[in-house]
Amino acid sequence: MKRLTKTLCAAVGTAAMAAFAAPADAALSAREASIVPIAAFTASGNERALRGALEAGLRTGLTVREIRSVLEQMYAYAGFPRSLTGLGVFVKLLDERRAAGIEDAVGREPTPLPKDVSIRELGTKTQTALIGKPAAGAVYDFSPAIDTYLKEHLFGDIFANDLLNWREREIATVSALAALPAPVQLRSSHLRVCLNVGLQPDELQAFAKEVESKVGEVPGKLARESVEAVLGGR
């Protein structure tokens, strides 16, 4: 089982970081840019703005299941109430579009994991790959339960869902953190993860511009300052 988990994690990680990697001089792709306001407005609870972002995402070519995966991921950063509210907004929008004769692309299901894979081992390897080292510290020692939730739920179940690659999931994360807003240390740590999964400095700057133009001046300023601090500290 350990060999299977190691092989699977390597395969998932390589595909997640490389399959959709953009050229070094590229800005965010259209689908990446459309994830920014979806994640941000889900996290902030702005239902009207989220509806518009969801419609834009569908027009960009995101499938129903890909958008659903973004909304589901938000529970880990903004809590179940915001994630459930976002899913409810999306369900209502899809119902209205079907009633109007609009058939949106549902998309494929995520690739199932082997039945005997250890989600704990897979999540641990994913977490280590994302942050660049094993996660350790006083908080994890004090709360073994939160360590389990991170490794098994977030980096295990959620990040193993290959409807979104790791770049896209981290773009969703930093968008949500800018919109909340989350503490600067958390925003900065996830921007460093973005670099670890292949985003280039100009792509992070493009991300901050997307936040400012599509989400708002205040979260955009937070995103820009966080990006500048992370890039300046390299």
The pLDDT of residue 10 is above 80: no
Q: Would you tell me how many other CB atoms lie within 10 Å of the CB of residue 25?
A: 8
Q: Is 216 left (phi over 0), alpha (psi -120 to 50) or beta?
A: left
Residue 190 CA to residue 226 CA, distance in Å, equals: 10
Confidence tier at 22 by pLDDT (50, 70, 90): very low
If DSSP states are collapsed to H, E and C, what string results for 53-81? HHHHHHHHCCCHHHHHHHHHHCHHHHCHH
Cα separation of 51 and 28, whole Å? 22
pLDDT of 24 above 50: no
Q: Whole-angstrom Cα distance, residue 186 to residue 194?
A: 12
pLDDT at 103 over 80: yes
Fold of 2-19+30-103+117-232: AhpD-like (1.20.1290)
pLDDT value at 229 more than 70: yes
- Dihedral Cα 155, 157, 160, 163, nearest 10 deg: -120
Distance CA 182, CA 18 (A): 28
Arithmetic mean of pLDDT, 71-92: 98
Q: What is the CA radius of gyration of the chain?
A: 17
Q: How confident is the model at residue 90 (pLDDT cuts 50, 70, 90)?
A: very high
| pLDDT per residue as tens digits for the range 169-189 | 999 999 999 999 999 999 999
How large is the average pLDDT for residues 65-69? 98
What does DSSP assign to residue 212? H
pLDDT reported for residue 18: 44
**Averaged pLDDT, 1-8:** 51
What's the confidence (pLDDT) of residue 234?
Answer: 82
Nearest to 126 by CA among 147, 165, 155, 157: 155
Q: Where are the domains of the chain?
A: 2-19+30-103+117-232
